[in-house]
Structure 1
Amino acid sequence: MSAVNDPQVWTLIGVFTTIMLGAMTLMTVQINRTIAASINGLRGEMIGRFDGVHGRIDGVHHRIDGVHHRIDGLHSEMNARFDTMDTKFEHLDRDVTALSRHIWRDTTGD
């Protein structure tokens, strides 16, 4: 068996160190790519879910706007009906006053 001299030992140490550093670099790059891909996938899923929630909120907002428009329409309709009733009550009050004056005038005149 032949003995390994000093330059050969240092060469073997250098080759081993280069292989180990290369393997560590390769593993680090692969882990970083895997983590980045996982984060990007999670980011895409979260954006999709947030968009879905945003769409639901917009749908609720549109329904609420529709309800507000209906309430505004009912409010206007009720105000118009109340105005009509006020007018009818004013006419009724005028007629009752005229009748009561007519009746009381007739009774006091006897």
Structure 2
Amino acid sequence: MLTMTEPQVWVLIGVFAAAIFGMLTIMSTLFVRVLRSEIGGLRGEMHGIHERLDRLDRDINALMKHTFGIDRD
């Protein structure tokens, strides 16, 4: 039976700790990368919505001017 004083046990503990630390690093890096890309996509979508609202506002103003005769020369 192996005891905690044998070098093989400490090597296995070190390898296991290094593997866990490596997996934690990879997963956190990938998570941050995915989060940044999702936020970037959301920003692009919000910009598109803003442009659509500006066009809708322009169209409504044109209809109001046409319907009520506002700003006619």
Verify same fold: TM over 0.5.
yes
* Percent of aligned positions that are identical: 32
Alignment of 1:16-55 (within 5 A): 16-55=16-55
Which residue in 1 is equivalent to 2:15? 15
Structure 2 segments unaligned to the other structure (5+ residues): none
Matched, 1:69 2:71: yes
> 2: CA distance between counterparts of 1:35 and 1:48?
20
Structure 1 segments unaligned to the other structure (5+ residues): 74-110
Deviation at 1:14, TM superposition (A): 0.8
> 1: CA distance between counterparts of 2:7 and 2:71?
91
Which residue in 2 is equivalent to 1:60? 60
Deviation at 1:65, TM superposition (A): 4.9
Deviation at 1:59, TM superposition (A): 3.0
- Aligned residue for 1:68, secondary structure, equals coil
- Tell me the amino acid that sits aligned with residue 47 of structure 2: I
> 1: CA distance between counterparts of 2:70 and 2:36?
47
TM-score calculated relative to the size of structure 2: 0.72
Considering only CA atoms, is the larger Rg found in Structure 1 or Structure 2? 1
> 2: CA distance between counterparts of 1:35 and 1:45?
15
> 2: CA distance between counterparts of 1:18 and 1:65?
71
- Aligned residue for 1:13, secondary structure, equals helix
Deviation at 1:56, TM superposition (A): 1.6
Say which structure, 1 or 2, has more relative contact order (CA 8 Å, 6+ apart): 2
